[in-house]
Amino acid sequence: MTEHYYSRKPSTDSNPVKWQSELKGNSFRFKTDSGVFSKKEVDFGSRLLIDTFELNKADGLILDVGCGYGPIGLSLAKAYPDAMVHMVDVNERAIMLAEENASENKVNNVKIYESDRLTGVEEKGFNAILTNPPIRAGKKIVHDIFEQSFLHLAEGGELWVVIQKKQGAPSAMEKMKELFGEVDIAAKSKGYFILKSVKC
């Protein structure tokens, strides 16, 4: 398989860049690099997920699966200061960048660590799990994330997923419905779907 951002140790030469973005009403300065997803800007799908998401419990536990350099997890941690946000990724370079970006933006209510899907996540009882899943890693990886998320959610906890129609939204909806019994389209724009399921 050719290397992509799902690789644990990207072999592409480091070429860091810094830029600013506004997310959920807060300004952020991000450092990104080669070998991580969407290094030059917050991608449209992640931004739509951030804008659409609402936490059902102000002091809840949130998990960002496939956090990359951190735009989803850090923006939510800043928007919900009473929440604790876990941020995980298989990509070691992404984890280092997420840690740097948390420090740079003075976001302290986060725990950032390496995990292949949710296999390294020991905590259970999350109120919300969000993912912009690594489509290029294949359907099995994406569906593993859904299955493992179901096991890590609290009763009433929500799984939020952003996915393009042409990159598997119909099969993602089918899988989420199979696991949770229902799936809602929380938002839809430019071919991107924000899917939400609640663990009952």
pLDDT of residue 13: 74
pLDDT of residue 36: 86
User: Comparing 6 with 149, which gets the higher pLDDT?
Assistant: 149
What is the C-alpha to C-alpha distance for residues 88 and 95, in angstroms, rounded to an integer? 7
Full-model pTM: 0.93
Size of the chain in residues:
200
Q: Would strands 61-65 and 26-32 be described as parallel, antiparallel, or unpaired?
A: unpaired
Q: What is the mean pLDDT of residues 5-30?
A: 82
User: Is 158:122 a contact under the CB 8 Å cutoff?
Assistant: no
Q: Can you tell me whether residue 28 is helix, strand or coil?
A: strand
pLDDT of residue 93: 93
What is the C-alpha to C-alpha distance for residues 148 and 116, in angstroms, rounded to an integer? 11
- Listing DSSP states for 144-178 in one string gives HHHHHHHHHEEEEEEEEEEEEGGGTHHHHHHHHHH
Q: What domains can you pick out in the chain, each with its CATH number? A: 43-198 (3.40.50.150)
Q: What is the pLDDT of residues 71-127, one digit of tens each?
A: 999 999 999 999 999 999 999 999 999 999 999 999 999 999 999 999 999 999 999
Q: What is the pLDDT of residues 134-180, one digit of tens each?
A: 998 999 999 999 999 999 999 999 999 999 999 999 999 999 999 99
Backbone angles phi, psi at 29, to 5 degrees: -115, 120
What is the C-alpha to C-alpha distance for residues 4 and 8, in angstroms, rounded to an integer? 9
Lookup: tokens for 30: 């991000």
Within 6-138, residue ranges assigned H as helices are 44-52, 71-79, 92-104
Which residue's structure tokens are 């800043």? 78
What is the C-alpha to C-alpha distance for residues 77 and 62, in angstroms, rounded to an integer? 9
Q: Would strands 84-89 and 61-65 be described as parallel, antiparallel, or unpaired?
A: parallel
